[in-house]
Homo-oligomer: A and B are copies of this chain.
Amino acid sequence: MAISTPTSVTDICLAAKAAAKPLAALGADVKDRALHAIADALVARTPEILEANAKDLEAGRANEIGDALLDRLALDAERIEGIAAGTRAIAALPDPVGETIDGHRLPNGVDVRRVRVPFGVVAVVYEARPNVTIDAAGLALKSGNAIVLRGSSTAIHSNRVLAAIASEAATAAGVPEGAIQLVAGGGREELAELATQDGVVDLIFPRGGEGLKNALKAVATVPVIYAASGNCHLYVDASAKLDDAEAILINGKTQRPGVCNALETLLVHADAAAEFLPRAAKALHAAGVELRGDERARALAGPGIPIALATEEDWATEYLALTLAIRVVDSAAEAIDHVGRYGSGHSEAIVTQSTDAARAFQLGVDAACVYVNASTRFTDGGEFGMGAEIGNSTQKLHARGPIGVRELTTFKYLIEGTGQVRA
């Protein structure tokens, strides 16, 4: 593991590649044992982790990085227990490697099947949260991939200790040395070096804001799975059960407003608006949500609740805060059009009792996850039963939605015959 001796990004990636081949052939027993060993080591070495974390927090306070970032950076014994529990949960998942996806026999008797295999070397580029170091390392290990971790300089002391603990525990449990690598430097030059490791790094996942994604887009020649922001909509149809609609609305907007599967815009059918908007506005207001609406929404929401006039920018904005845009539409088709224009392809929901409207919405909305009568907050690897996730893809290539251990694999065709040749 390239932590104690400073080496180039290229050398780090080559070391990961050297580990990738034996790692791909590792049985589930060894991988799961290693994941439990990592969890044990995290708990056992908590004081060491907290000591390193304190250095990051101190530097963060000195650099005035702000309370939100400091909170994301901070670890305590309970959070470390949580990270360890996540690692054990990854161990409990079925091994995706070796799964036969499908297969058939050709007319000439040759058998063709597609079997899941690891990518080889995956890289994760992330900001602040040190728990990603362990989550990403665990998902990579379970899926048989070597990993290159490139965290933020803000969390460098925490990341160094966490990566060292993971690497040491994994190696002691039989994982090839070098399977878990950390790029210590946080500069743009290192990012460019990482993003151009063609033939060495198979895939990069950025976990961070638009700045990071644009920086990658400008230089990457290695395939990147981008996660766009989540400008998610809830459409309350004319026939919606209004209790369901309100529950899904409040859940989507207020449970955790800072995440990508939270709601940003409410669309309401005109036939339901007069009844639904007053109660929805009241409940949102009571939950501390600031409202922006079009003229009709403002008129129908009733007196007493302040609703600013929504601008074009409001429809396009992912607030990631207790703010919601509201628009009244005259049909499901108009709602679908609005989502098509402003949505980011993440998670979109309709509440309806109409099978026609539900079907039109599911077919007409182009997003990773399209919901009927359920909260967009379910878009999550854990909620979907996939275990932890390395991120959430809003691009269409390879994987859409949560990126779990299955999405960290590719496949190969295994073909078996008895001497057949092509005619």
Contact = CB atoms under 8 A, between A and B. Distances in A.
Contacts of A119: 396
A370 B421 contact: no
A373 B120 contact: no
A370 B414 contact: yes
A412 B203 contact: no
A410 B396 contact: yes
Interface in A87-135: 104, 106, 110, 112, 117, 119-120
A395 interface: yes
Given A104-B385, A375-B422, A413 B251 contact: no
A373 B417 contact: yes
Nearest to A422: B377
A47 to B, nearest CB: 33
B416 A373 contact: yes
Interface string A331-342: 000000000100
Nearest to A256: B422
Given A119-B396, A255-B422, A377-B421, A415 B223 contact: no
Interface stretch (A52-60, A241-249, A272-280, A303-311): A241-249
Nearest to A105: B385
Contacts of A418: 244, 373-374
Contact of A398 (B117, B362, B397): B397
Given A410-B397, A413-B370, A416-B374, A106 B384 contact: yes
B415 A371 contact: yes
A400 B413 contact: yes
A417 B110 contact: no
A190 interface: no
A77 interface: no
Contacts of A358: 416
B223 A421 contact: no
Contacts of A419: 241, 243-244, 247-248, 351, 373-374
A420 interface: yes
B417 A362 contact: no
A75 B414 CA distance: 36
A247 B110 CA distance: 15
A324 B415 CA distance: 23
A400 B372 contact: no
A239 interface: no
A302 B366 CA distance: 64
With most chain B CB atoms within 10 A of its CB, the pick from A110, A117, A251 is A110
Contacts of A413: 368-370, 379, 384, 400-401
17 contacts: A21-B340, A25-B364, A106-B384, A112-B384, A117-B366, A202-B396, A217-B221, A225-B397, A255-B422, A368-B413, A369-B413, A373-B419, A374-B415, A379-B413, A383-B422, A396-B410, A398-B398
